[in-house]
C-alpha cells in the first residue's frame, strides 16, 4: 500500500522530525503507525518528504526520520474547476471527487439557478471552509503533495473575467454538438472547466461566458450530475493532455 500522507505547515529541514498536533494524533492514534513504517509529509504546495517512524509517543505524536525530499511539479496544463453551488453535501462531494482526480483549483460559482446560496457573513464563510477542508482531506487521501486552492465564490461576471484570462475554458453542456475529445487543448496555462447548477446554466449566463471565450462541450452520451461532472472532466483532461503522461 502507498505510504499515507500527512500535511504539515513546513517540511522538516533536519533528518528528524516530530509529527504532533492533529496530524500526529491521526498518525499515531487512528492509523496506529509504528516504528519502521513509512509515511510521507507534504506542505500542500508541492514539497514532500519520505519518512520512517522511529518512535511513537502514546497516541499523540510520532518521531520520524527523513530519508528523501522532493518537489512535486505543478501539472501542465492546470485545471481549474468553476463549480456552481449545489445543495446539501453534493458541493463537498464535487470538490472531493475533483481533487482525487487531480484538479488544481476550485472556484465556487454563484450561478443564477443555484438552489444553495452562500450569503456573505458567517454562513457563507462556514460553507467555504467546508469546501476547503474537503479539498485538504481528499488531497491526503489521494496522496497529493499539492492541495487545490478553493477560492472565494464568484458571480457570473467574475467567472467571465476568469474565463477571459484562461488558455482554454470549457462550459459543460450535454446538448453541445462537440465532445471534449474533439477539441484542441493547450499544453500550458489554465484550462477552466465550468459546471453549472442542477437547474442548468441560463441563456444569459451561457451568452456571457461564451462571449468571454468559453466553448460549449459535452463529456459523452450521458448526463452527469453537477456533483460528478467536474471530476469526470478533470479525469478526461488527464488523458487528453500531457497531465498524466
Which CA distances in Å does 6 have to 21, 48, 65, 76, 138?
A: 11, 10, 14, 25, 12
How many angstroms separate the first and last alpha carbons of the chain?
A: 22
Q: Which tens digit of pLDDT belongs to each residue from 41-65?
A: 999 999 999 999 999 988 999 999 9
Mean pLDDT computed over every residue of the chain: 95
Q: Is residue 228 a contact partner of residue 92, using CB atoms and an 8 Å limit?
A: no
Kindly state the percentage of the chain with pLDDT values over 70.
Answer: 100
Name the residue among 125, 115, 91 with its Cα closest to residue 231. Answer: 91
pLDDT value of residue 88: 83
Indicate if the pLDDT at residue 164 is higher than 80. Answer: yes
The answer to whether 79 touches 242, Cβ cutoff 8 Å, is: no
pLDDT of residue 200: 92
List the domains of the chain with CATH numbers. Answer: 5-71 (2.40.240.20), 78-240 (3.40.1280.10)
pLDDT (0 to 100) of residue 160? 98
According to DSSP, residue 42 is labeled E
Amino acid at each position: 500500500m502507498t505510504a499515507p500522507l500527512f500535511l504539515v505547515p513546513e517540511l522538516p529541514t533536519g533528518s528528524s522530525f516530530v509529527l504532533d498536533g492533529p496530524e500526529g494524533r491521526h498518525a499515531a492514534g487512528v492509523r496506529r503507525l509504528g516504528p519502521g513504517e513509512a509515511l510521507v509529509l507534504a506542505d500542500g504546495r508541492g514539497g514532500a518528504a519520505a519518512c520512517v517512524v522511529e518512535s511513537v509517543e502514546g497516541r499523540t505524536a510520532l518521531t520520524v526520520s527523513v530519508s528523501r525530499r522532493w518537489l512535486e511539479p505543478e501539472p501542465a496544463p492546470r485545471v481549474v474547476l468553476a463549480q456552481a453551488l449545489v445543495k446539501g453535501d453534493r458541493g463537498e462531494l464535487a470538490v472531493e471527487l475533483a481533487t482525487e482526480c487531480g484538479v488544481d483549483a476550485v472556484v465556487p460559482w454563484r450561478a443564477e439557478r443555484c438552489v444553495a446560496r452562500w450569503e456573505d457573513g458567517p454562513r457563507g464563510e462556514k460553507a467555504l471552509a467546508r469546501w476547503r477542508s474537503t479539498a485538504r482531506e481528499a488531497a491526503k487521501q489521494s496522496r497529493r503533495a499539492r492541495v487545490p486552492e478553493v477560492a472565494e465564490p464568484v458571480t457570473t461576471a467574475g467567472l467571465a473575467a476568469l474565463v477571459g484570462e484562461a488558455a482554454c475554458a470549457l462550459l459543460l453542456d450535454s446538448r453541445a454538438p462537440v465532445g471534449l475529445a474533439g477539441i484542441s487543448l493547450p499544453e500550458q496555462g489554465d484550462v477552466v472547466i465550468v459546471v453549472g447548477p442542477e437547474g442548468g446554466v441560463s441563456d444569459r449566463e451561457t451568452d456571457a461566458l461564451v462571449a468571454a471565450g468559453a466553448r460549449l462541450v459535452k463529456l459523452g452520451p450521458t448526463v452527469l450530475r453537477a456533483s460528478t461532472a467536474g471530476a469526470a472532466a478533470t479525469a478526461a483532461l488527464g488523458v487528453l493532455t500531457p497531465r498524466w503522461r
